[in-house]
Amino acid sequence: MATIQGITFIGIGNMGLASVQALVKANTPVTIWNRTTSSPKVQSAIAAGATRAPSLSAAISANSLIIICLLDYPTIASLFSPLPSSTFTNKTIINLTNGTPRQSTTMQTFFKQERQASSYFDGAIMVTPQMVGTPHSMLFISGEDSPSFQSISNTLMPIGKPEYLGPDITSASRFDLAALSAMYGMFAGGMTGMGLLKRGPGSPKIGQTVKEQIVPIVGALVEYLGLLAEAWDGERWGDSMGNPMGMQVQGVRNIVTACREEGVDGGVLEVLRRQMEGVVESFGADSGLAGLGVLLL
Ligand code: FVH
């Protein structure tokens, strides 16, 4: 197994800076490239010990392992497409940019078939910049095969623990978006609920209330997601787990109605109400939340 000496990091935004700082701290020599060379983040990366390459081509030439963490996939395409194919010979690319499963496939084709890179891994960092390099930091990685992944695994470790999801290039993006979808769904419902709290007498401050009375309830319910996934796997649409859909949809109707009465935009929950009523129509009032899965696919 080849030992990786140094790495090149493309994209010194919030994630890039945090990752480079963690890599340098672990004694990895890092060459960086960023569109805006005057960015304070670039200066911080240099101050931490990274070397700034004079051009994108020079940055890629500097090392065989290239990590990309840019805003989105179109940005990657616009930066890398103009470079000649020879730039990527014998290069291993790890792309940590957020994107869709289809974009990951397109990018794999671009780097492996159109540009002859030796390896292309698609990935995602699953923590905020503040958490990069801490024991809580983790990454999803997919593509190539297990021995190839083993050859890059230790290099990624200072950024976060890499979890290899197998050769299907789309997996990292799929897992990333699944986790983000759960997170944003929670935030969307949470903000709607906070709107109702804010409409309370005297437009109250809600920080303390949310931390002490709402967060523990929501936290305790997170594991329910795993039970729903199992019910979906088993196509147990009728399994209400003690919470029949007829009862639950009435609760959601009440939220939507309260939002209307109190002048809060309850549009996010309106969509869920419609879908839940569809489950009641299809499977009856005694069915369970997992029935939503049938309407989703
Ligand atoms: N920040 C977070 O909390 C999340 C955590 C989970 C993972 N996401 C994803 O990570 C990718 C990078 O996110 P970021 O937070 O580092 O983003 P920014 O700080 O905004 O940095 C963006 C970098 O992309 C460069 N860039 C943007 N547009 C262009 C362009 N047209 N040409 C060249 N480079 C471009 C930007 O360069 P500059 O503005 O400094 O010149 C930064 O290097 C992302 O996929 C998240 O979804 C973050």
Tokens for 97, please give them: 């940019």
CA–CA distance, 182 with 22 (Å, rounded to integer): 28
User: Digits of tens for pLDDT over the chain (297 positions)?
Assistant: 455 689 999 999 999 999 999 999 999 999 999 999 999 999 999 999 999 999 999 999 999 999 999 999 999 999 999 999 999 999 999 999 999 999 999 999 999 999 999 999 999 999 999 999 999 999 999 999 999 999 999 999 999 999 999 999 999 999 999 999 999 999 999 999 999 999 999 989 999 999 999 999 999 999 999 999 999 999 999 999 999 999 999 999 999 999 999 999 999 999 999 999 999 999 999 999 999 999 999
- H helices within 95-202, ranges in order? 101-108, 146-156, 171-198
User: Best of 9, 10, 15 to mutate for ligand 1, by most ligand atoms within 8 A of CB?
Assistant: 15
Looking only at Cα atoms, what is the longest distance across the chain?
67
Task: Evaluate: CB of 278 within 6 angstroms of ligand 1.
Answer: no
The Å distance, Cα 73 to ligand 1 centre, comes to: 11
Tokens for 143, please give them: 């593509």
Task: Evaluate: CB of 128 within 6 angstroms of ligand 1.
Answer: yes
Of the candidates 98, 173, 155, the residue with the CA atom closest to the CA atom of residue 128: 98
CA–CA distance, 71 with 178 (Å, rounded to integer): 19
Closest residue by CA, ligand 1 atom 17: 13
Closest residue by CA, ligand 1 atom 39: 36
Tokens for 289, please give them: 């939340």
Of the candidates 69, 19, 66, 25, the residue with the CA atom closest to the CA atom of residue 49: 25
User: Best of 38, 56, 70 to mutate for ligand 1, by most ligand atoms within 8 A of CB?
Assistant: 70
pTM of the predicted protein model: 0.94
- H helices within the chain, ranges in order? 14-25, 40-48, 56-62, 73-80, 101-108, 146-156, 171-198, 207-209, 215-221, 224-233, 245-262, 267-283, 292-296
Backbone angles phi, psi at 142, to 5 degrees: -140, 160
